[in-house]
Amino acid sequence: MRTGERNSLARRLALVLRHAPEKFDLEMDINGWIDVKEIIRQFKKQGGKRFHWLRPHHFVAISETDPKGRYEIRGNTIRATYGHTVEIELDLPTDNIPDSLFYPCNPAEAENIMEVGISPSGRAHVHLSASIRSAAEAGHVHFPLPTILEVDTAQMNAAGETIWHAGITVYLVDSVPPQYITAIDNDNSEYILARARWEDEEE
């Protein structure tokens, strides 16, 4: 696949597997799986010659090389591991969850979030990051200097809350009650390293 072909396919996959399978007349099962051959058939039907080259191994390549682990292949089916706006029942791993996970937010909203907790915003689940750096990178897409919140997932687990391991550095929860949230200082060493990288990229 050329870079342009890969990017075009990845955008369509995100739409199908996370948000709107019905736009391509595709059926998703309760756990988010869709048949690869059906996706190929519909992409070729709607895209004409644009996807004449598409084969099942292209989906395997995208799944295996995605740096964030966005997609999972099982047999002849594929699904997104996180980022859904459609309701699905997660059957993702719930073991070996780190004791702390992290969430980036708008600094103007941080105080309110720490009072009321974290709820999904336009998605089916709250997305948490495995490290301060990965949370900072996710937050920097939306805010120049996001506030990073630390979530005490050890205490959440002990209280019976379910936490799913989705992508490589992504974890999902239904919501986060406020008693499990603290703010990371902007002078935290890991956060400083993340910001230094942004400054290097801007130069």
Residue 32 included in any domain: yes
Dump pLDDT digits (tens) for 97-113. 999 999 999 999 999 99
Nearest to 170 by CA among 127, 118, 108, 114: 127
Residue 129 included in any domain: yes
Structure-token pair, residue 62: 């995208």
Same-domain status, 53 and 114: no
Per-residue pLDDT at 188 exceeds 90: yes
Residues in the chain: 203
Q: Amino acid identity, residue 82?
A: Y
User: Rounded to two decimals, what is the model's pTM?
Assistant: 0.74
Same-domain status, 75 and 125: no
CA dist 123 and 174 (Å) reads 10
DSSP 24-41: GT----TTS-EEHHHHHH
Judge whether 32 and 80 are in contact, CB under 8 Å: yes
